[in-house]
Amino acid sequence: MTLSATNPLRIGTRSSPLALAQAEMTKAALIAAHGWDEAAVLLVPMLSSGDKVQDRPLAEIGGKALWTKELERALIEHEIDIAVHSMKDVETVRAGIFRIAAMLPRADVRDRLIGADSIAALPQGAKVGTSSPRRAAQLKALRPDIVTDSIRGNVATRLSKVVNGEFQATLLAAAGLARLGQGNIGNAIETSEMLPAASQGAIGIDCLVERTEIAALMVPINDLPTFTSVMAERAFLEALGGTCHSPVAAQAIWQGDILTLKGEILREDGSERREGAIAFNPDDVEAPARLARQLLDAASPELRALFEG
């Protein structure tokens, strides 16, 4: 495939500042890997449904698909060659015509707390802005007195809502803040206290399965430890079932020949929290499902219903 200013590789991206930063990272990685001219890669920004609707939680209006469907349509109609996603925004079960061809090296998977030094330091009855069922449940498991309410908008909007007192605190992904040059804002919450969302910190490059020539161009920028770990986390989510309303966390780490996957499921009010871990060879594709079954078997009927119902 010969690329040039008149025939560039077209990268589809959401038009938010964070999405554009992630697309620029992908563009830079491809140019460095292939020695292409700058003009051989073109960003194609798009406004997603998730960006258009800012007054309701995503879970109420369609979930993760709202971040990706415009980009998927553009792939199908050959308006773009690849799409760049935050992997935690990509639906677990997808149409077979798409493939995640590569992932960039994973960034910090932790959440950062904005508005207080720690979760323990939040005032009694603090109002925390989050639209994530996982974060809300984990906060309530740690601090049942905390009140959570939906908060939408880009990073700047969310930060402003804490500054103006609408919320006493909020939680944001450390990776996203770092990619916007704001990595020092707030305080990192260790994964031992709040396990992250599956795929958090990972950037994925999406293309059509039929575009094998495009997938081949992505091979040099694929970070295998990230790809393997994130795919294990996604397999865990798929085995659990559930919806975008179901509070779940997962993190896989590949060290040596062993992949260690930690998982957690919770009731929405934090009153029940089941967690576990499994260590396995990355070739053991059934291991994430075994961990999912272990957690569901240990859960109450009420918690299981959030995933199997």
Per DSSP (E only), the strands in the chain are 9-14, 41-46, 82-86, 98-103, 111-114, 127-129, 147-149, 169-173, 187-189, 203-208, 248-255, 258-266, 273-280
> Which residues are known catalytic residues?
89
Question: Over its length of 309 residues, how does the chain's per-residue pLDDT go in tens digits?
Answer: 777 778 999 999 999 999 999 999 999 999 999 999 999 999 999 986 555 555 555 555 455 567 789 999 999 999 999 999 999 999 999 999 999 999 999 999 999 999 999 999 999 999 999 999 999 999 999 999 999 999 988 888 999 999 999 999 999 999 999 999 999 999 999 999 999 999 999 999 999 999 999 999 999 999 999 999 999 999 999 999 988 889 999 999 999 899 999 999 999 999 999 999 999 999 999 999 999 999 999 999 999 999 975
Cβ–Cβ under 8 Å, residues 91 and 71: no
**At 44, phi and psi to the nearest 5?**
-125, 90
Does the domain at 9-104+202-222 match CATH 2.40.50.180? Answer given as no
CATH of 111-189 among 3.40.50.620, 3.40.190.10, 3.40.980.10, 3.40.50.720: 3.40.190.10
pLDDT for 170: 96
CATH of domain 234-308: 3.30.160.40
pLDDT for 4: 72
What are the distances in angstroms from CA 44 to CA 14, 35, 132, 207, 288?
8, 21, 28, 14, 36
Same topology, domains 9-104+202-222 and 234-308? Answer is no
pTM, entire model: 0.92
Domain ranges of the chain: 9-104+202-222, 111-189, 234-308
Q: Look at residues 47, 18, 23 and name the one whose alpha carbon lies nearest to residue 155.
A: 18
Q: How far apart are CA 280 and CA 105, in angstroms?
A: 22
